[in-house]
Structure 1
């Protein structure tokens, strides 16, 4: 038996007794729609700091059922509602029929990992450099930088550090996935942000800005971008903007069942932030199209190849 649920103008079909259901969208199959619900559920649970066992206890759902739902098995809408209440998200967000509003960096980066597993093309407006294109040295220093970004006198200091450890784990999984799949990446970076990154260094707090070893770490990442600009490896396109750039970071994913747009306040570079802000993910055609138009305009205006490399070398 099918249950019809209307949310935000969309008709959602939830099949009971093991049948598959789907978001009523012509370009998304029933199985992929159900699978996507499981992926969002897993990310939201992780961001809430709950294990499957804990979520099962809170909701009165069996542990085995939670694992099945996260693996992409059908879920009754009343059960999904109970789970959504305990995770502090809307049913619409879990079903993917509205904008996903995400206040947890862990949830956001887990969603990025899930989307990147299937994306064939990623357009990145993220400063000062795209995380996917950073070096192993960057990954080695990143946990320290993120921990530095948490003031020692905040009451949730221990929990914040524990959350950072989980964020780092997810970020490493993202990097591993990217290097294994090699989707096409178009990365736009700001010359002004690169210059500021080199001046302050790869630090998590202003108190450490300017330290020699941290400035060297930042310069190493910028030098890596210079080498990529010079060599122009297949599947990587980098544009350097020398004028104004949008304040919000965003990524556009193509090659998934639907194009998706992710906007984020979270930062991994100098003066990192993985604690506060609200990120959004949407597949609304208008939002995707407008951000793609911005990306195309900025790409045309950006420096590329050897010209961009020479410009950044002068900054260094």
Structure 2
């Protein structure tokens, strides 16, 4: 095998998926290489798409607890780890020209730097009691991946279309950026202030209308899971995710999927087009959001 696409299989993509799953499992390259009985250099070549033996790929899939078809991107790629999923998002965003998505409450890529600082705190407080060292390291790894995503987005500036649910925004303003509901009143108020500032950041984006960024507020009911469409030069890729980075985040339970299956792509392209067609945009969206902030956000 080689790193070039052949017979519909792109070995560079396989190597990228392998790396994402390794990172998601918290395995250093030396550790995985030792478990497989190969050198670190050999594993590095595999992660770059230089895959010479199917036996090596099978052994890696078994060690990482992922199916060989999923690792190869055959059909649907199922992902039960948020760290793996967001690393795959980073990889897909590196190669796309356009991102279309329904986000909750807003696309992470468009959030402020203050959001990152608070999100780390929120993820730690949403962790179950008695979380072990590996669980805490998972949160740190996730934050590192998210930071890399945002930095790459700001450098590359692919076109992004962000669909925002008005219901999610209302809940975000009412509850604040929180990991659980049993917080002291003083902290809850601080988190509601943080949510207000993030909503004001979104409002400023609506008003400034930066090149390459389109946002719309959707007032009709939206799917319970978020989705993103990555349009690349030679294909489009769909990602559907149960993971949340907003109010009451979920980074622990759920199964995300990634696919380029034509039927799934068409159905979600149609949903995105319908939601975008009915969404509030530009000055109208800014006015609506300003009223929402005044109605639901804590006063400052």
The interval holding the TM-score normalised by the smaller chain is over 0.9
Match of 2:202 among 225, 232, 236: 225
Q: 2:120 aligns with which of 128, 133, 143?
A: 143
CA distance in 1, matches of 2:140, 2:7: 38
- Give me the whole-angstrom Cα distance separating, in 1, the residues matched to 2:143 and 2:88: 14
Task: Give the superposition deviation at 1:225.
Answer: 1.1
Aligned counterpart in structure 1 of residue 67 of structure 2, from 80, 90, 100: 90
Cross-structure match for 1:110: 87
1:297 to 265, 274, 278: 274
What secondary structure sits across from 2:162 in the alignment?
strand
Contact 1:115/1:256 (<8 A) preserved = no
Contact 1:203 1:209 in 2 (8 A): no
| Match of residue 4 from structure 1 | none
Report the Cα distance in structure 2 between the residues aligned to 1:111 and 1:263, rounded to whole angstroms.
12
> Please, which of 13, 17, 22 is the counterpart of residue 5 of structure 2?
22
In 1, the alpha carbon distance for the partners of 2:254 and 2:233 equals 26
More deviation in 134-143 or 255-264?
255-264
Match of 2:162 among 172, 187, 204: 187
* Aligned match of 1:73: 50
Q: What number of residue pairs does the alignment pair up?
A: 291
Unpaired runs of 5+ in structure 2? 294-300
Greater length-normalized contact order (CA 8 Å, ≥ 6 residues apart): 2
Spell out, residue by residue over 1:193-243, the C-alpha distance to the aligned partner (whole angstroms, 9 max, x if none): 101101101111111386221111111111111111122111001010112
User: Does the C-alpha gap of structure 1 residues 209 and 71 become closer, same or farther in structure 2, counting only changes over 3 Å?
Assistant: farther
SS at match of 1:208: coil
Matched, 1:311 2:294: no
The question of 1:200 aligning with 2:183 is answered no
CA contact (8 A) 2:3 2:48 kept: no
The structure-2 alpha-carbon separation of the partners of 1:146 and 1:256, relative to structure 1 and needing over 3 Å to count, comes to farther
Q: Which whole-Å deviations, capped at 9, do the CAs of 1:289-314 have from their partners, x for residues lacking one?
A: 11011000010011111111111111
Report the CA distance between 1:116 and its aligned residue. Answer: 0.4
What is the correspondence of 1:121-160 to structure 2 with a 5 Å cutoff? 121-153=98-130, 156-160=131-135
Distance in structure 2 (CA, Å) of the matches to 1:265 and 1:114: 19
Q: TM-score of the superposition, structure 1-length normalised?
A: 0.89
In the TM superposition, residue 122 of structure 1 has moved relative to its aligned partner by: 0.0
Give the superposed CA RMSD.
Answer: 1.4
For 1:212 and 1:243, the matched residues in 2 are separated by 29
List gaps (5 residues or longer) in structure 1.
Answer: 1-14
Q: CA deviation digits over 1:137-157, x for unaligned, max 9?
A: 00111110110110223xx43
Q: Is the 8 A contact 1:252 1:260 kept in 2?
A: yes
3-state SS, counterpart of residue 284 of structure 2? helix
Q: Distance in 2 between matches of 1:118 and 1:165?
A: 25
> Are the aligned partners of 1:23 and 1:97 in contact in 2 as well (CA < 8 Å)?
no
For the pair 1:55 / 2:55, whether they are aligned, the reply is no
Matched, 1:167 2:150: no
Whole-angstrom distance in 2 between the partners of 1:292 and 1:75: 37
Look up the match of 1:9. Answer: none
Maintained 8 Å contact 1:124/1:250: yes
- Output the CA distance in 2 between the equivalents of 1:172 and 1:47: 15
- Kept after mapping to 1: 8 A contact 2:3/2:49: no
